[in-house]
Amino acid sequence: MSSRPMKRILVTGSVGQIGSELVMELRKHYGNENVVATGHRTKPGDALRESGPFHFIRIQERQQLEGLVEQYDIDTIFNMAAILSAAGEKRPQLCWDVNMNGLINVLEVAREKELARVINPSSIAAFGPETPGKNTPNETILKPKTMYGVTKVAGELLGDYYFHRFGVDVRGMRLPGVISYKTLPGGGTTDYAVEIFYEAIKNKRYTCFLKEDTVLPMMYMPDTLKSFIDLANAPIEGLKHHCDFNVTAMSFSAGELAAEIKKYIPEFEVGYEPDFRQAIADSWPQSIDDSPAREEWGWSPDYNLSRMTKDMIEKLSERLLG
C-alpha cells in the first residue's frame, strides 16, 4: 500500500480549540475551497466561516457526513470532534456517543468511499494509573479511568483494525495538553494551562483546579499543527504504528508554569483549589516517550516551556489588551 495525496479535506469539530486553527493551517497548504470545516452547534469565528466552506453537522448522523463527502469529493477526514475528559465525566453516555459513534461513521464513510486518509487524534487520556508515570513508552498498559480515555483507547484499536482489515489509511497521535491563544479549550483537564494565561494577563490572579505539584505533558499549538500535517503526510512505508503515536513537547507542574509566567507579570498570584479534575490528572503520566514518532515520521517539537510562555504572553497580551 502506498500513500495517496490529500487534496480535498473535511474537518469535524472545527470550532474547537485545535480544529479551528487546524482548518486555517490546512487552508494555507491545500487551498481555502479544498478544506471543508464542520461543527456541531457552536458558532464559528469569522475567519473560519469566511475563508472557506463551513457546515453544521451531527457527526453521529452518518448521512450528513456522507452527503458532504459526496458534495465536495472529499478524500481525507481529520476527525477533531470529541467530548474531552472533564466534560466526559459529567456526561459519559454523550462522550461515548460523540467519540465512538462519530468515529465509526467517519471510518465507515472512509471505507465505503475509499478515502485516501483519516486522521483521528488520540490523547494521553488513553493511559491510566497502572501505566508507568514517567517517560511512558509507546507500548504500555492502557487502562484509562475516564470515559474519554476509554473512547480514545477504543478509537486507536478501531483505527488500527480498519487499517489492517479494510486497508483504510487511518493515523493518529496521543496528544498531551495543548496550549494556544486563539480559541479556548473546553471540557479538558489540561485546560488550566490555557486559562492561567488569560487570567494572569487580565486579572493578575488565577485559582487553579489542579494542585501546584501536578505535572502533565503539554505542547504549544504551532507544534500541534505541525504534528498533524507531518503525520498526515508521512510516507506510509515508514510507519510501523498507525493510530497510537506518543507525541510530546514539554512537561511541567502547575507551579512551574505559574513561576514562568511571573517572570513576565511579577504581580501575578496563583491559588490552588483542586476539584474532580485532580483525580483525572493523577491518573495520567507526567512525561511520555515519543521516540517511535521521532523515528517513523520525523516528529520534533520547536517549543519548550520558556519559548511557549514568552510567545503566549506576547500574542495573548496583544489580543486581550490591544
CA distance 133 to 129: 8
Q: Where are the alpha helices (DSSP H) in 99-146?
A: 102-112
Question: One of 148, 162, 181, 303 is an active-site residue; which one?
Answer: 148
Which parts of 64-103 interact with ligand AKB (CB under 6 A)?
84-85
Q: Decide: 55 and 38 in contact? Cβ < 8 Å.
A: yes
Residue 99 cell numbers, joined: 467519540
177 binds ligand AKB (CB under 6 A): yes
Q: How far is the CB of 302 from ligand AKB (least distance, A)?
A: 20
243 binds ligand AKB (CB under 6 A): no
CA distance 209 to 230: 34
CA distance 159 to 172: 8
Identified binder of ligand AKB from the candidate list 20, 34, 180, 189, rule CB under 6 A: 189
Q: Decide: 146 and 124 in contact? Cβ < 8 Å.
A: no
H or E element: which one contains 259? helix 254-262
Q: Which is nearer to ligand AKB, 42 or 317 (CB)?
A: 42
Identified binder of ligand AKB from the candidate list 124, 168, 196, 201, rule CB under 6 A: 124
Q: Which is nearer to ligand AKB, 66 or 282 (CB)?
A: 282
Length reported for the chain: 322
How many Å is the Cα radius of gyration of the chain? 19
Which parts of 291-320 interact with ligand AKB (CB under 6 A)?
none
Q: How far is the CB of 99 from ligand AKB (least distance, A)?
A: 11
Measure CA 134 to chain center. Answer: 21
3-state secondary structure of 150: helix
Q: What is the DSSP letter of 288?
A: B
Stretch touching ligand AKB by CB under 6 A, among 35-43, 123-131, 205-213, 256-264: 123-131
CA distance 224 to 1: 27
Q: Which is nearer to ligand AKB, 3 or 278 (CB)?
A: 278
Does 148 participate in catalysis according to the annotation? yes
Stretch touching ligand AKB by CB under 6 A, among 73-81, 122-130, 237-245, 253-261: 122-130
Identified binder of ligand AKB from the candidate list 136, 151, 190, 283, rule CB under 6 A: 190
Q: Which is nearer to ligand AKB, 123 or 309 (CB)?
A: 123
Could you give the residue numbers annotated as active site? 148
The residues binding ligand AKB (CB under 6 A) are: 84-85, 123-125, 148, 175, 177, 188-190
